[in-house]
Chain A
């Protein structure tokens, strides 16, 4: 079974995010790391391929400046190879354009049974890529999976709902988005890290994927940022150290609010 995992390489979420002063888009020029949300998809893919007893995991990523740091992390976990789409023409792409790039990359990856994604990225969090990619490929979209099972050419998931979960099934190939925490991502071993350095990364441009420069990036985006401003700040109130009796002040506060 061959699985594509969509991975995003993002600025470290531990450092404060910035907007590019000219374009008002997220500043992504510095070093990027693997979005932790995607580590669940990578782990899930490795486990599914393992269970199927054959096949491989291919990563697909779109990133500026030929960035591979995050890809190397996922390759070190055990993915076999990667397609990296890096092209200045793609700067400013909206989510639908990004989905087009991913869908074309999945086609480039060859004979694929399953595409795994996170539910949304940590930085942009648009949350529409799984459905858009499925729509473009005309594959079923099984979203918000908290459990994934593959058997006899079908995929069955437990799909998160407000009330609990639904059991949803479709034939392969399909796109599945997995929720955070569904599996425990492995730490890359030393051997894995060394091996990752030599794993193939297929670097391509928008044109290589058959996408015209006029329909991607800034020229292809059909939405525009009109203003950016600071949100009003919330004022903090009282702060106390617990000396063993802080709970009494919490109780008093709850009484004041009349929630007890």
Chain B
């Protein structure tokens, strides 16, 4: 009998998030029935794309001014017993992580997270993760009874439409999330972003300690990213130092990116960072220390002071445009 797979769906504006489409594509490949659970507004607007990528049905829940992950966990806890999916997939995103961890506690079920592969071996469900900066691959299987709860890092699978009909929308009443539901969302604050999102950009330019100071991030990293129509990212070191926010972090404890081109400026290449970017098609690295670990992977390595190399590069690019 084929597997029934549920995907905790998230939205990006009035479209499904790209991580959701990636999960649906994979779910379609390994499962027979694919359904989505979505907490948020405008489920009808999402139903077309969710269906196109593989979901036959979407359970839609109004968050009622609460956090989607919190309401999602409460809703799933109520929906799972009657519908018994074999696997529930979450994106390793802010809301996906809230949902899987709260649900894990509610159901007393273990989780596997940071997955980048899913495969079936007989009736075993096996999730692959990367450790030690991606130089070691670990496969783990679930034991015990389904449903199995797994969180998958965005960009692990390609999103491909399958041509399915729009998903049927089944509205589910907002559940009582207990004390967890006391967390109220008072306000959404949208920060202006020029250019593409970090995880979706064709070019990513990231900076690290080698920039010398927080003040150099804008004129070196942001400006170069802008000229290349890309997004700017960061190493953990400068996020920890408070130079840029956590949302910009590329790496094991940050985001995974797989752009056509990744430019690492002043980044030494701690394993923490490498796991988030070594899947890029092409990599340029610029660091003062020619022996830095980052030089083990780039297609073009430029040994030199970022504050000297990058301004010249920016000038040259500006002169062309």
Tell me the A residues contacting B by CB distance below 8 Å.
13, 16-17, 19, 24, 26, 36-37, 40, 94-96, 99, 119-120, 122, 125-136, 138-144, 146, 156, 158-171, 174, 179-182, 184, 221-231, 233-234, 236-242, 244, 246-251, 253-254, 257, 259-260
Contact = CB atoms under 8 A, between A and B. Distances in A.
Given A222-B143, A259-B202, A250 B313 contact: yes
Interface string B258-292: 00110000000011100000100010100000100
Contacts of A40: 240
13 contacts: A125-B114, A126-B111, A127-B253, A128-B101, A166-B187, A174-B183, A226-B141, A228-B137, A236-B295, A241-B290, A242-B308, A247-B313, A248-B316
Contacts of B278: 234
Given A127-B92, A131-B69, A167 B301 contact: no
A224 to B, nearest CB: 6
Main secondary structure of the interface of B (DSSP, over half): mixed
Interface string B120-144: 0100101000111011111111111
Contact of A180 (B17, B109, B236, B270): B236
A162 B94 contact: yes
B185 to A, nearest CB: 5
A55 B283 CA distance: 50
B86 interface: no
Contacts, number: 291
B55 interface: no
Given A141-B70, A241-B290, A247-B313, 10 more contacts: A128-B111, A131-B73, A135-B104, A170-B182, A231-B137, A237-B298, A242-B304, A242-B305, A250-B309, A260-B317
Main secondary structure of the interface of A (DSSP, over half): mixed
Given A238-B300, A239-B290, A144 B137 contact: no
Contacts of B240: 36, 40, 180-181
Interface in B241-264: 241-247, 249, 252-253, 260-261
